[in-house]
Every structure is written in structure tokens, then in C-alpha cells.
Amino acid sequence: MTLVNAGPIDAWADHVAARLVGRLAANPALRLCLPTGLTPLPVYDRLAAAVARGDVSFARAEVFLLDEFGGVAPEDPGRCDRTLARALVSRVDLPADRFHRFALSGDVDEECRRVEALVGAGCDLTLLGLGTNGHLGMNEPGSAPDSLTRRVALDPSTIAASARYFGRSTNLPTWGVTLGLGTLSRSGEVWVLATGAGKSAIVRDTMHGPVSSAVPATLLRDHQAAMLIADEEAAALA
């Protein structure tokens, strides 16, 4: 895994968006896995602007949602599919049937097997946020390096952090579904994104701490094409 310090937050967002536009221009049928969370939002704004300008198109791309909260009403605006739709998908020209998300009203294990099969040999490019506990998607500490798409229990810190998506502090989800670390490892490229001083310790540990399932992000350190793209604050201790 290579660490890229992309400078102040605006330069960081420009950098990530420009790289992604480049990948999409080179391969319009790019198969992308995308996260929600707060970190990628400035990147998604720039991508939407690039599509509006006609610089690039998602018309032939495919987007796989990284993870989803369970036990939440389909119309709840805090769901990951709703969040990614608002932040990016509804603002670009991605055909609706190329936005792959989780349907959790039926058999959850069966749905996870369906998504795993759909990802198949792997995405071309995966963007990930970085949890302060090192989680990737909902692969919490303890997740196996070869884990596949599955139902998971959320770490108490992740449950607490989800309050910012749901706009409430009670009745928060306690489980979710996520592409696994093995699923993500099959991606041709992986870009882990981190911004802000609050991520500086986990960026340091991801790059330099022991490789261990206690810090899931370290398990991608040996991926052949993984980058941790941080802004200057998140990169400060690494």
C-alpha cells in the first residue's frame, strides 16, 4: 500500500476526483465499488460536476455499493443506498440497473451470495473510507482477510457513529451487510480515503502498525495496487 499525501482538503478532493475521472475515461465500462460516509462527499461533488461539464460519463460504468445497514426501513434516508444516490448516483448518468445495492427484505444470506457472485472476479477500482478503528466498509476488527460478502454485527463505535447518518441517537442499526475483505482484495485497484486530524492515528497504524485483523485496513497493505490517499491532516503522523 502506498501513502499519498495529497495536501490540503480541497487539493485532496481535486486529486482523487481527477484520478477517478482518468480511470473512467480510460475504461468507460469501469466496475467501481463506492462507499458512503462523509469522507468521499467532496470527491463526489467534483465527479458530479465533471459529468455535468461532459468531461466524463458513467453511462457504461457499474457501481457496487460497499455496504448497507440492516433492519432499517427502505425509505430511511440514512440507508447507504439512499446516501450514495443523493451524493452521486442521482447526479450522474449511471443507468439505474447499473447501481448494485443490497435488497434486505428477504433472505439476507442469500442476498449476500447474490452480490458476491455479481462482483465475481472483482471490481476494477474500489474506494473505501477508513474507520477510526481501522474498519473498511463494515469489516470490523476481527474480520478475516478472506471474508466474503456477508451479514455482520456492527462495532459499538460504528453504531454510535451512524447517528450522524440517521439524524437520531436511538433506534440505530446494530447489524449490516458488507463486501468482505476477500471480495475487496480482488479489486484491481483499491484507494483508501482519509481526511482530517481525527484519522491521523489510524492512517499511521494502517501504514506502519502490525498487519492484523485487529486493524482490518492493514490486511490490504500487501495488495498489489492499494493506495491510502490522505489529506495533509490525516497524513500528519505517517
Element (H, E) at 46: helix 41-52
Q: Left if phi > 0, otherwise alpha if psi is -120 to 50, otherwise beta: which for 37?
A: left
Q: Left if phi > 0, otherwise alpha if psi is -120 to 50, otherwise beta: which for 178?
A: beta
* Given 62, 81, 140, 205, the catalytic residue: 140
Q: Among residues 93 and 168, whose Cβ is nearest to ligand PGA?
A: 168
* Given 133, 205, 223, 231, the catalytic residue: 133
Residue 82-111 contact track with ligand PGA, rule CB under 6 A, x = bound: ------------------------------
All three cell numbers of 171? 433506534
Rounded Cα–Cα distance for residues 209 and 186 (Å) = 23
Q: Please work out the total of residues on this chain that contact ligand PGA, with binding judged by CB under 6 A.
A: 7
21 binds ligand PGA (CB under 6 A): no
Minimum distance from residue 206 beta carbon to ligand PGA (Å) = 12
Strands (DSSP E) contained in the chain are: 2-5, 31-34, 62-65, 67-69, 99-100, 125-129, 150-153, 175-178, 189-194, 226-230
Q: Among residues 56 and 150, whose Cβ is nearest to ligand PGA?
A: 150
Query: Among this protein's residues, is 139 annotated catalytic?
Result: no
Strand partners, 151: 177
Q: Among residues 56 and 72, whose Cβ is nearest to ligand PGA?
A: 72
131 binds ligand PGA (CB under 6 A): yes
* Given 15, 62, 81, 135, the catalytic residue: 135
36-55 binders of ligand PGA (CB under 6 A): 37-39
* Given 15, 62, 67, 205, the catalytic residue: 67
Minimum distance from residue 135 beta carbon to ligand PGA (Å) = 6
Strand partners, 127: 191
Query: Among this protein's residues, is 135 annotated catalytic?
Result: yes
Minimum distance from residue 67 beta carbon to ligand PGA (Å) = 9
139 binds ligand PGA (CB under 6 A): no
Query: Among this protein's residues, is 133 annotated catalytic?
Result: yes
Question: Which of 142, 140, 139, 134 is CA-nearest to residue 199?
Answer: 134
Rounded Cα–Cα distance for residues 211 and 7 (Å) = 26
Residues in contact with ligand PGA by the rule CB under 6 A: 37-39, 129-131, 135
- Active-site residue list: 67, 133, 135, 140
